[in-house]
Copies of this chain bind each other. A is one copy, B any other.
């Protein structure tokens, strides 16, 4: 794993969650970075999401630090807005910058008041711990029901020299209204024109975070941030833009697929490829329909090559296609050809479906050029166990 220049990280235990495990973290750029973020589309938005949007707007896309806590989503509480404001102010003071340069993120239970003094008291010590070497600790501090920390990085040779992207993320129920959320933080040391940052982030998000599903629920706290501090002194020219976007998308996809693999109770990462749809949007609609079908996901948990459920889920997705032109492969084995059962050994395929990785290819014959890649996980008893008793 390689890291971009000019960032420092720190985490600590601020007693926000019961388990004694770091729950408060900072990601700080030495010089304020240009930045963009995408947020949950849920109509119920947590207080830190609302303040983060406001801060990014008033700072015109400048960002000094991301402040994140786990263990409490600071959502649907009486004091939420004030808690977010106070803690951002305290972080700004400790870092000697304007409060609108702080982006707050919270993840955890909804509807429980968050005591701001736990954060404000911990901040001075946290700032003292900032180090370029604590990236991994922060990736661990933001975990909730995650079983593993999730990180990814890439180095790209641009015309002006080499730049680095590193990212971390959390999440294992794509939506946990209770433990809330996917958070994702992408840092690069490339020098990127401010106006370009939101575009790059949106394009990378569209092929990564917007292409995963664990349970089809969207949280109240989802936040994905891209910071670019220029510490490499390498400018992103328009000539290099595609190269950079490709690497950024790859890092975002790796992070996003790690969330799907770590889906609550999941044993398998399921990759869904759709080709030949009328448009990319239609292809994504089909892929999402398959990824969100509990019947498909339970079949995969049981290593059952039940392609009838796959074509039925696609038919139910709202996308426009002719079922008689559909072929489906699982683990590379053709199971459905032109909408009908293909000739394959169910016994052999069942064995191969025991792998930790499952590939579903959904191909529509004809002139359509629409394609999409999507990630999800299988659906096991573990999901029910985790979510039937989360708060108790």
* Interfacial residues, chain A to chain B (CB-CB below 8 A): 41-45, 73, 75-78, 109-112, 173-178, 215-220, 292-295, 298-299, 301-302, 304, 306-316, 319-321, 323, 336, 339-341, 350, 379-381, 383-385, 387-392
Contact = CB atoms under 8 A, between A and B. Distances in A.
Given A295-B173, A380-B384, A384-B301, A110 B76 contact: no
A219 B217 CA distance: 22
A313 B43 CA distance: 9
B340 A308 contact: no
B392 A304 contact: yes
Contacts of A311: 44, 76, 110, 177
Given A111-B307, A304-B388, A312 B78 contact: no
Contacts of A391: 304, 306
B178 A295 contact: yes
A43 B319 CA distance: 8
Contacts of A112: 341
B312 A217 contact: yes
Nearest to A302: B388
A308 B75 contact: yes
A323 B383 contact: no
A270 to B, nearest CB: 14
Instruction: State the oligomeric state as a number of copies.
Output: 2
B316 A77 contact: no
A24 to B, nearest CB: 21
A387 B310 CA distance: 13
A313 B175 CA distance: 9
Given A109-B308, A174-B312, A312-B220, A294 B294 contact: yes
A295 to B, nearest CB: 5
Contact of A218 (B310, B316, B323): B316
A309 B110 contact: yes
A129 B311 CA distance: 38
A307 B392 CA distance: 14
Contact of A388 (B44, B299, B392): B299
Nearest to A73: B308
B76 A217 contact: no
B392 A312 contact: no
Kindly list the 10 A-B residue pairs having the minimum CB-CB distance in the complex, ordered from nearest: A110-B308, A302-B388, A177-B312, A44-B315, A298-B387, A43-B315, A177-B309, A111-B308, A381-B381, A42-B315
Contact of A387 (B173, B299, B313, B389): B299
